């Protein structure tokens, strides 16, 4: 199907964030590849996108799920993984076929009013998630007696300097490397689990409680794993990378491997906290409580190990999210954008970036703001607004006029619709339960 650019003979401007440009330059395809080389060339966008979901809010969510409910929520992770793979593959396929970002497609196909709804829900979730990143920084600092009123403003200024100064790519690898310490959860899970039969049983046999708290945690798990931000970011990365139709199979492999890897980390975090904190009745209230889960592996250095990963994940998220939010929203409306632009040239772009960054930091330093609750609520907000974005994705990827022979088949559409509908029903059920006072 001919694109608008092909019909007019002009190419649309492709301006994307520094994180996306960094990713695309590192993984840009150079000519047709086959076999292992083809897969390695395609590997990248989904790997970075899915693992970005294991940020401060994600670590907090998985830790609390295990500490509060043991193995009872473990069965959700395989189900969520299937949904994540299907949704991510749909966005990657749309990016390859249309060579347009998700926000741009929503505007073109549904109009300004609907893209405004999508962007409004996205920005709300983005501010909440950015606040969660700064909450992670504050929580890590408090492990060593540092006040959030010092660490959060300093890190906010540091992040702003990295992006505005164009030095983001110089420290991106450092931030990413710091999060590798979370692999320690895998080792800890094996150290603390002599019998894996209960774990495997819980992973395949659903446990359901008709309680508001349990449902809240389930929605939060979905929100932190299949977040809307990841879908926008992945599709933009695919477009900027210039992936062609013949690499679609390799891109699907990237999505499959990356989604499974990211959710395996989540799986082992839940298992570790369920084995170490749940039997002891430890309710996670602070980062120090969460760090105790790593004591079987790191002993008295558990807090240092946990804080290192938390700071790396938080700084990476706080750097990428506000900037990508500014690019995606301005892309949706065709507004001027780019960090090389002045405030006068791109006022909405610069205002969005600065506003999301500062607002996220300000929320954290509100006196008495509970850091753990903030991280959990931000992921819950992601789960509440996710059905809106999923409906747009399902309608777009199922459009034959847009996708041609690459429309989703019935099985994939069923999974996509089921994810959106079930999550929407869960949100309504939680509202009803909360109003009725069930499971408070």
Residue ranges of the chain whose pLDDT lies below 70: 1-53, 166-173, 176, 339, 437-440
**Within a domain: 263:** yes
**Within a domain: 10:** no
Helix and strand element counts for the chain (H, E)? 22, 0
Instruction: State which residues form the domain around 169.
Output: 26-436
Q: What is the pLDDT of residue 245?
A: 84
Q: What is the pLDDT of residue 41?
A: 53
**Within a domain: 416:** yes
- Check residue 335 and give left, alpha or beta (phi > 0: left; psi -120 to 50: alpha): beta
Overall pTM surpassing 0.75 (yes/no): yes
**Within a domain: 20:** no
Q: What is the pLDDT of residue 28?
A: 45
CB 77 within 8 A of CB 267: yes
- Check residue 219 and give left, alpha or beta (phi > 0: left; psi -120 to 50: alpha): alpha
Token look-up 């980390």 returns 265
**Within a domain: 12:** no
Phi, psi (5° rounding) for residue 273? -70, -30
- The DSSP line for 49-61 is HHHHTSSHHHHHH
Rounded CA-CA distance 149/145 in Å is 12
- Angle of CA points 163, 169, 172, to nearest 5°: 95
CATH assignment at residue 93: 1.20.1740.10
Task: Find how far residue 144's CA is from the centre of its chain.
Answer: 28
**Within a domain: 332:** yes
Q: What is the pLDDT of residue 177?
A: 75
CB 400 within 8 A of CB 118: no
**Within a domain: 65:** yes
Rounded CA-CA distance 17/324 in Å is 6
**Within a domain: 6:** no
Domain count, the chain: 1
pLDDT, tens digit, 9 for 90 and up, residues 363-420 = 999 999 999 999 999 999 989 888 999 999 999 999 999 999 999 888 989 998 999 9
CB 354 within 8 A of CB 323: no
Q: What is the pLDDT of residue 13?
A: 44
């Amino acid at each position: 199907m001919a694109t608008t650019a092909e019909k007019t003979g002009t190419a649309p401007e492709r301006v994307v964030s520094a994180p996306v440009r960094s990713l695309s330059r590192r993984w840009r395809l150079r000519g047709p590849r086959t076999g292992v080389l083809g897969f390695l060339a395609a590997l990248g966008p989904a790997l970075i996108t899915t693992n970005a979901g294991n940020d401060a809010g994600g670590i907090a969510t998985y830790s609390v799920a295990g500490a509060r409910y043991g193995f009872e929520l473990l069965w959700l992770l395989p189900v969520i993984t299937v949904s994540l793979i299907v949704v991510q593959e749909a966005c990657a396929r749309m990016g390859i076929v249309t060579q347009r970002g998700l926000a741009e497609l929503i505007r073109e196909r549904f109009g300004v009013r609907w893209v405004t709804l999508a962007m409004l829900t996205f920005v709300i979730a983005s501010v909440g998630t950015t606040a969660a990143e700064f909450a992670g920084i504050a929580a890590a600092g408090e492990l060593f007696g540092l006040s959030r009123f010092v660490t959060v403003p300093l890190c906010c200024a540091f992040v702003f300097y990295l992006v505005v100064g164009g030095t983001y790519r110089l420290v991106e690898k450092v931030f990413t490397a710091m999060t590798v310490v979370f692999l320690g959860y895998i080792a800890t899970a094996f150290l603390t689990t002599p019998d894996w039969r209960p774990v495997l049983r819980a992973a395949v046999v659903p446990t359901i409680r008709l309680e508001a708290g349990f449902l809240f945690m389930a929605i939060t798990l979905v929100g932190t794993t299949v977040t809307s931000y990841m879908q926008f970011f992945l599709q933009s990365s695919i477009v900027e990378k210039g992936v062609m139709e013949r690499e679609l199979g390799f891109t699907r492999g990237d999505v499959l491997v990356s989604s499974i890897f990211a959710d395996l980390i989540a799986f082992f975090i839940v298992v570790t906290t369920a084995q170490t904190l749940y039997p002891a009745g430890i309710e996670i209230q602070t980062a120090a409580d969460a760090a105790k889960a790593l004591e079987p592996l790191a002993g008295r250095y558990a807090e240092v190990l946990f804080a290192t990963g938390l700071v790396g994940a938080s700084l990476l998220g706080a750097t990428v999210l506000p900037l990508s939010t500014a690019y995606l929203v301005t892309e949706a409306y065709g507004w001027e954008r780019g960090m090389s632009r002045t405030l006068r040239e791109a006022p909405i772009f610069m205002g969005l970036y600065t506003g999301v960054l500062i607002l996220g930091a300000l929320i954290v330093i509100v006196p008495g703001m509970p850091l753990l609750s903030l991280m959990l609520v931000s992921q819950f907000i992601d789960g509440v607004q996710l059905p809106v974005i999923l409906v747009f994705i399902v309608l777009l990827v199922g459009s034959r006029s847009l996708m041609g022979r690459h429309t989703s088949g019935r099985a994939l559409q069923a999974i996509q619709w089921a994810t959106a509908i079930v999550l929407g029903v869960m949100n309504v059920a939680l509202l009803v339960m909360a109003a009725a006072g069930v499971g408070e």
